[in-house]
């Protein structure tokens, strides 16, 4: 029995370390061995572009968002700005019209995905791009993002969103920025080697004839990249296409945001086709398993490691297990102390514990009462 516990303990630890650190190191080595960045595609004439903003009660920011879209360094005759109002009860639609949106859709509440679907049906652009109402693009972002489609193999492209702290002092406890920089580095290496395994909602685009209609509870961030790959195209990261967005100020708010996101993620993983390797290259299958499946399974791996460790210590299996148990308990203690003592190392520990727990909480929510297609803005991000 002790041997089985040891195998399970060390296997759990290896998988945790692999998905959190080892995978990125392996990608870095693979990029070095691949000989550098792929050759850029030859410049092509700019295509027509429809920039779609799905919005639910975004009266406070929609005017600035439409103005930001219209200020893009993109020929006006080639740019179409569409605001899809998802059951808005405030002045979002009127504000979008005043700001100069080309098309404003007043839709019944059906969720973000269905609002985007409706906008794509009305869009005239060869490329359809998407953004959140609170995300502001840099002036050249549209031109740079669309440039990825000069490569005929590219079907999806996402840019770089940088999260800015929405609070200061004691209220600014969220460490999302630190994690996000690491995540973007991993995404960049995935893109250079093959295709990315996930995007973001602030700045991304597809060819209009490559757009995929998905279940309304399955967000584009995760469902589009791997589905594009299954259809024989690439999903790429374009770091020079930049946007900014306010992050959730507090760690508890970030946990709530990620918990909600994970309740949409598990349906994609378990019944949305992600687990099926059909259409994946072997390398991309390893990427999906390492960066997505294992990452979302991390809370279960941590629980398994802790349970086995406790059993091994009780069985007197050796000093090494006393040390590993102490390290696990130290992490939990540091996370607990961060609730009253805002030291950076403690906040990072708390961020790791809460965000690692969020996939388990999201899975529980989905299994217990399902997932709604509608969404609300995260607190403090407007």
Query: What pLDDT, on the 0 to 100 scale, is given for residue 170?
Result: 44
Query: What pLDDT, on the 0 to 100 scale, is given for residue 208?
Result: 96
Summary count for the chain: helices (H), strands (E): 13, 8
Residue 314 lies in a domain: no
Residue with tokens 């295709």: 195
Query: What pLDDT, on the 0 to 100 scale, is given for residue 381?
Result: 54
Residue 162 lies in a domain: yes
For residue 42, what pLDDT band results from cuts at 50, 70 and 90?
A: low
pLDDT tens per residue across span 303-359 = 999 999 999 999 998 899 999 999 999 999 999 898 667 777 888 888 899 999 999
Residue 180 lies in a domain: yes
pLDDT tens per residue across span 77-108 = 999 999 999 999 999 999 999 999 999 999 99
Residue 223 lies in a domain: yes
Query: What pLDDT, on the 0 to 100 scale, is given for residue 176?
Result: 59
pLDDT tens per residue across span 123-138 = 999 999 999 999 999 9
Query: What pLDDT, on the 0 to 100 scale, is given for residue 152?
Result: 94
Q: How is residue 187 written in tokens? A: 């995404």
Residue 259 lies in a domain: no
The three-class DSSP label of residue 376 is coil
Q: How is residue 202 written in tokens? A: 């602030």
Whether residue 35 is predicted with pLDDT greater than 90 in this model: the reply is no
Residue 329 lies in a domain: no
Residues 153 and 271: their CA atoms lie apart, in Å, by 27
Q: Domain holding 105: CATH number?
A: 3.90.550.10
Residue 23 lies in a domain: no
For residue 171, what pLDDT band results from cuts at 50, 70 and 90?
A: very low
Q: Report the pLDDT averaged over residues 269-273.
A: 93
Query: What pLDDT, on the 0 to 100 scale, is given for residue 325?
Result: 96
Number of domains in the chain: 1
Query: What pLDDT, on the 0 to 100 scale, is given for residue 68?
Result: 98
For residue 175, what pLDDT band results from cuts at 50, 70 and 90?
A: low
Distances in whole angstroms, Cα of residue 360 to Cα of each of 12, 204, 215, 274, 302: 16, 28, 22, 18, 11
Cβ(141)–Cβ(159) below 8 Å = yes
Cβ neighbours for 39, distance < 8 A, ≥ 6 positions apart:
none
For residue 177, what pLDDT band results from cuts at 50, 70 and 90?
A: low
DSSP label at 272? S
Residue 83 lies in a domain: yes
Query: What pLDDT, on the 0 to 100 scale, is given for residue 379?
Result: 58
Cβ neighbours for 61, distance < 8 A, ≥ 6 positions apart:
133, 134, 382
Cβ(73)–Cβ(143) below 8 Å = yes
Residues 88 and 95: their CA atoms lie apart, in Å, by 12
Q: pLDDT averaged over the chain?
A: 91
Domain extent for 196: 49-250
Q: How is residue 5 written in tokens? A: 């516990």
């Amino acid at each position: 029995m002790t041997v089985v516990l040891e195998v399970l303990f060390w296997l759990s630890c290896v998988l945790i370390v692999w998905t959190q650190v080892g995978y990125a190191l392996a990608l870095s080595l693979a990029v070095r061995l691949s000989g550098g960045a792929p050759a850029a595609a030859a410049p092509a004439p700019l295509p027509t572009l429809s920039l779609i903003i799905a919005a639910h009660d975004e009266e406070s920011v929609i005017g600035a968002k439409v103005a930001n879209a219209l200020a893009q360094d993109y020929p006006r005759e080639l740019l179409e700005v569409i605001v899809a109002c998802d059951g808005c009860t405030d002045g979002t639609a009127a504000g979008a019209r005043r700001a100069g949106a080309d098309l404003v859709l007043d839709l019944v509440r059906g969720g973000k995905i269905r609002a985007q679907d409706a906008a794509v049906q009305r869009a005239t652009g060869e490329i359809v791009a998407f953004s959140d109402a609170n995300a502001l693009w840099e002036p050249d972002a549209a031109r740079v993002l669309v440039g990825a489609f000069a490569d005929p193999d590219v079907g999806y492209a996402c840019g770089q969103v940088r999260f800015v702290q929405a609070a200061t002092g004691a209220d600014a406890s969220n460490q999302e920025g630190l994690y996000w920089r690491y995540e973007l580095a991993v995404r960049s290496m995935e893109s250079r080697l093959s295709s990315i395994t996930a995007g973001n909602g602030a700045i991304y685009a597809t060819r209009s004839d490559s757009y995929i209609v998905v279940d309304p509870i399955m967000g584009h961030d995760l469902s589009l990249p791997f589905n594009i790959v299954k259809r024989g195209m690439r999903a790429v990261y374009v770091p020079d296409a930049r946007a900014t967005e306010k992050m959730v100020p507090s760690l508890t708010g970030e946990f709530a945001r990620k918990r909600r996101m994970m309740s949409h993620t598990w349906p994609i993983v378990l019944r949305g086709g992600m687990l099926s390797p059909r259409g994946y290259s072997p390398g991309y299958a390893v990427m999906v398993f390492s960066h997505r499946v294992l990452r979302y399974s991390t809370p279960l791996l941590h629980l398994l490691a802790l349970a086995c460790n406790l059993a091994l210590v009780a069985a007197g299996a050796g000093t090494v297990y006393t040390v590993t148990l102490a390290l696990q308990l130290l992490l939990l203690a540091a996370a607990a102390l961060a609730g009253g003592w805002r030291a950076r190392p403690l906040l990072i520990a708390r961020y790791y514990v809460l965000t690692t727990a969020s996939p388990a909480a999201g899975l529980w929510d989905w299994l217990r009462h399902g997932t709604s297609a509608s969404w609300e803005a995260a607190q403090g991000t407007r």
